[in-house]
Amino acid sequence: MNRQLYKLTFLLLILPTAMFASNGKEKMKGKHTKEKTITKEFSVNSDALLKVTNSYGTVQLTSWDKNTVAIEVTIQTNGDSESKVTERLAQIGVDFTNTNDMVNAKTRFNDGSKAWWKWNKRNNVNVTVNYNIKFPKGNELDISNDHGKIFLDKAENKVSLSADYGGMEIGELLSHHNTLSFDYSNDVTVAYIKDGRINADYSSFSVKEAENIKLNADYTQSVFGKVRNIEYRCDYKLLQIEEANNVQGAGDYLSLRLGKISGNVDLKADYGSIKIAEMTNNAGNIDIESEYAGIKIGYQPNYFFSFEFNLEYASLKGDENFNFNIKRIEDGEGYYKGYQGNKSNSNHISINSEYGSVRFTKL
């Protein structure tokens, strides 16, 4: 509860900023628009670090084969007072630092004043700051862009991307140790990520394909296509995975939707629901501990397994094909032990559920 109140307070504090600075999507409606463009080029090592810190616009990143970082920044101000629009434009710039191993570009508002949004509020001036960057494909990236969107086609080195109150459109992340962080962002898509961590709050995102993922998300709709291995800690809303090898995680008040599984599943859940659409014939083990969470598991005919279920105030359904060694039900508690299919198969399903029914479906 404290965390939720903190985030609500933070949202209320940040709203004035969003009200008086354009994020690059909405049309500037004032009578006067002023613009300036800043261009820089830096020769760097092929694996140099590129760091960008921006707000209220887009950061467009395109990889290329040159050992050069080329940056073009377009700054626009807009409002009904031409003098105030011109004055505001003069106050915004970009600070650059560079070596062969690093390029750092940081948008500067009002000479570093933290209260620049009050200036905008008083004078009704909108701002957009858009970056267009070409970088060596082997560069490491550290990009932060709030109230705007990050576009990236491909990166061969590790990346760290952060976008609050905005979005991301990411192509291929081909290295290890990537980090994507975003809050209050509902426009995040990733085509492919080899390995990385995703931190998301009050957002929605989709990943088409991934190898190894660690996910930490609250109040977020998380959707994956195909992922090899995923570890998660998610509270509230949805985690959906169409196809996975191994899934391990914990969630409260979470709707977990797993499609085709070919490895092991290890889950902890309080409240919410768990659905595994298909344990394939060559899938592995299932281990579930849950309270107040309904569980549904579909399995292929040749997915053989032994099982042990401890259920409290919870029913077991879809057990017509099960062979029971022990089946004991008394005083709201049920204990079941046995196997399905081949008795000697090494796969095992263990379920401990309180106040949540368990249903199996043979496909």
183, part of any domain = no
- Cα–Cα distances in Å, from 11 out to 55, 164, 264, 342? 16, 11, 39, 56
Residue 329's beta-bridge partner residues? 334
Q: Which of 138, 168, 144 is nearest to 156 (CA)?
A: 138
Q: How would residue 339 be classed by pLDDT, with cut points 50, 70 and 90?
A: very high
What is the span of the domain harbouring residue 111?
A: 21-45+54-136
Average pLDDT for 50-62: 98
Is residue 165 scored above 60 in pLDDT? yes
96, part of any domain = yes
Burial-class residue 87 by CB neighbours within 10 Å (0-12, 13-18, 19+): middle
Whole-number Å distance between alpha carbons of 64 and 51: 17
- Is the model's pTM score more than 0.85? yes
Q: How would residue 27 be classed by pLDDT, with cut points 50, 70 and 90?
A: low
Average pLDDT in the chain: 91
Q: Give how many domains the chain has, as a whole number.
A: 1
Q: What is the pLDDT of residues 299-312, one digit of tens each?
A: 999 999 999 999 99
What amino acid is encoded at 156 in this protein?
E
25, part of any domain = yes
Q: How would residue 121 be classed by pLDDT, with cut points 50, 70 and 90?
A: low
Q: How would residue 20 be classed by pLDDT, with cut points 50, 70 and 90?
A: very low
Looking at residue 16, what is its pLDDT? Answer: 38
Burial-class residue 95 by CB neighbours within 10 Å (0-12, 13-18, 19+): exposed
Enter the tokens of residue 117.
């949004």
176, part of any domain = no
9, part of any domain = no
Torsion sign over Cα 68, 102, 198, 266: positive
- Cα–Cα distances in Å, from 313 out to 100, 289, 291, 327, 328? 65, 14, 10, 15, 13
Enter the tokens of residue 317.
């359904």
Residue 190's beta-bridge partner residues? 170, 207
Q: Name the residue with higher pLDDT: 25 or 202.
A: 202
150, part of any domain = no
126, part of any domain = yes
CA angle at 100 for the pair 99 and 106, rounded to the nearest 5°: 45
C-beta of residue 161 within 8 angstroms of C-beta of residue 170: yes
107, part of any domain = yes
Looking at residue 158, what is its pLDDT? Answer: 98
